[in-house]
Chains A and B, each alone.
Chain A
């Protein structure tokens, strides 16, 4: 049984048919990437999984359990965390308060090991823990958004364009961290416009075009695919 499975999912924004029957699977321990252009429906897919949007047709299951019966905040308790597009940190809360919010769904209060792990991954956050998060740089905010998602100890972490708006050197650091997080046992579904980077760390990939999945293959094969090379990797 796949950890996350989408079966023929149709999602609408009002009358706009945004997802037109998407089916995909994420197995435990994988990094799977979802690539596509602007407006292809990548963020919509993630918002449907996390319950902020509801599929009008089809279903989303996590370890075999239908997620449509749960509200967005209840799905977090099932072990799904999200790094939202544009980071979505709470700018008026301090760094440690942001991390506390990440751990909101946890019943235990023993955050020390998590904080240690997070400050190992992102030493910059340790220096800035009492700083108001809105004053962090873009890269630091991205780190905070990832750290915050990890605080919930998720089994599955959804990342929406973690490389967006970051300097190339930071993008590499962020992707190294994603690999590290995955090695430590968290399954990752990564949505990216930076297809090259995404395919270099993922095991499988889906290509999304105007609400439908047009390609699905291993990352290696996708990198060699002519259509992918032309449309997403900028090769002629």
Chain B
């Protein structure tokens, strides 16, 4: 028994577990050092957690697009980063116009909702067109081909944005009602974070109910399991795939708008990092799984916000906040090594069997 077990373990496994152990020790050591030094008070921790959740909720909105498209086509839509940034980039002009004619100041809530819907609509249209023009003709091609096409679409969109919007950073109008802080659930939180968290949660809840309870959602799940059989039920597979891209696009557009709200600025290449992290979240949560993507995104958001302060600081790393992106991707590497199916991937596999 033990002998067989020993036989199956290779030197690589031992090395990997060794590295894992060192990192875990480092994290524990650093966390203990930071916590015992008392450098941060509880308000600072609260701030970090709320920032993490806010970032995480934006990542979740983007990650849904990766995960539903993967679920249905087994394809990573690398153009999703540009689908995400397209919405806020175009909606910037609406926001600017509404701001200049004073509408945003008079009717801030209506104005924000308008800009958000416009951003969602633009991202949704880009996603729909990308699928219709670039991916659908390649539906029957080997899997690598749509993947490379997706990278092509991503570059095409990226440089189209650069040509149309210029390479500079544009400042989103800032609203007075979103400035400042307010007590919320016993904590003192920035208003804009509350707005982002609530809107993201509402959208994610809507998405979850669509996937779980509507005819469209059930058809999406049926198509993701077996396209031929789904067609035998009378499901128009192409239509469902289009709808999937559009839902993913709309959520990415909403995420893009909230991202602009959080950081007050947009740029043609703004999609790269948030989308890469959203992709990481989708993998961490178990790609193809909607709830997994949400959990993965929240997890990543919190790790990214708290990680530098809680364990890197304690280890005496200089300028720990510069390393927050590194933490996200180290996490990706570790998930891929130790749990390639992601957090919720296993349950999916047993359900399928």
Contact = CB atoms under 8 A, between A and B. Distances in A.
Contacts of B237: 73
Contact of A91 (B215, B218, B352): B352
B233 interface: yes
A92 B71 CA distance: 12
Contacts of A104: 215, 219, 233-235
Q: How large is the interface on A (under 10, 10 to 19, 20 to 34, 35 or more residues)?
A: 20 to 34
B230 interface: yes
Which has the most chain A C-beta neighbours within 10 Å: B228, B233, B351?
B233
A52 B228 contact: yes
Interface in A63-121: 71-74, 76-77, 81-82, 84, 88, 90-93, 97, 100-102, 104-105
Nearest to B240: A73
B233 A105 contact: yes
B330 interface: no
B234 A152 contact: yes
B225 A90 contact: yes
A132 interface: yes
A204 interface: no
Contacts of A123: none
A73 B236 contact: yes
B232 A100 contact: no
Interface in A195-221: none
B351 A92 contact: yes
B324 interface: no
Contacts of A148: 233
B144 interface: no
A101 B352 contact: no
B215 A100 contact: yes
Interface residues of B, number: 21
B226 A90 contact: yes
Nearest to A92: B351
Contacts of B116: none
Contacts of B232: 50, 52, 72-73, 76, 81-82, 84, 88
Interface in A37-81: 50-52, 71-74, 76-77, 81
Interface string B65-78: 00000000000000
B353 interface: yes
Task: Identify the interface centre among A73, A81, A88, A152: most chain B CB within 10 Å of its CB.
Answer: A73
Nearest to B213: A97
Greatest chain B CB density within 10 A among A81, A101, A134 is at A101
Nearest to A100: B218
Given A101-B233, A104-B234, A92 B352 contact: yes
B234 A77 contact: yes
B221 interface: yes
A132 B221 contact: no
B289 to A, nearest CB: 10
A105 B215 CA distance: 11
Contacts of B235: 73, 101, 104
Contact of A93 (B215, B222, B231): B222
Nearest to B225: A90
B229 interface: yes
B234 A92 contact: no
A59 B38 CA distance: 81
Interface in B228-252: 228-237
Contact of A134 (B215, B230, B351): B351
Contacts of A77: 234
Given A132-B351, A134-B352, A92 B225 contact: yes
A101 B225 contact: no
A84 B229 contact: yes
Contacts of A92: 221, 225, 348, 351-352
Given A76-B234, A88-B229, A105-B233, A93 B218 contact: yes
Nearest to B239: A73
A97 B234 contact: no
11 contacts: A52-B231, A72-B231, A73-B236, A76-B234, A81-B232, A90-B222, A91-B352, A101-B219, A101-B230, A104-B233, A134-B351
Interface of B: 215, 218-219, 221-222, 225-226, 228-237, 348, 351-353
Given A76-B233, A76-B234, A102-B233, 11 more contacts: A52-B231, A73-B233, A73-B234, A90-B221, A92-B221, A93-B222, A97-B221, A100-B215, A100-B218, A104-B235, A148-B233
Interface of A: 50-52, 71-74, 76-77, 81-82, 84, 88, 90-93, 97, 100-102, 104-105, 132, 134-135, 148, 152
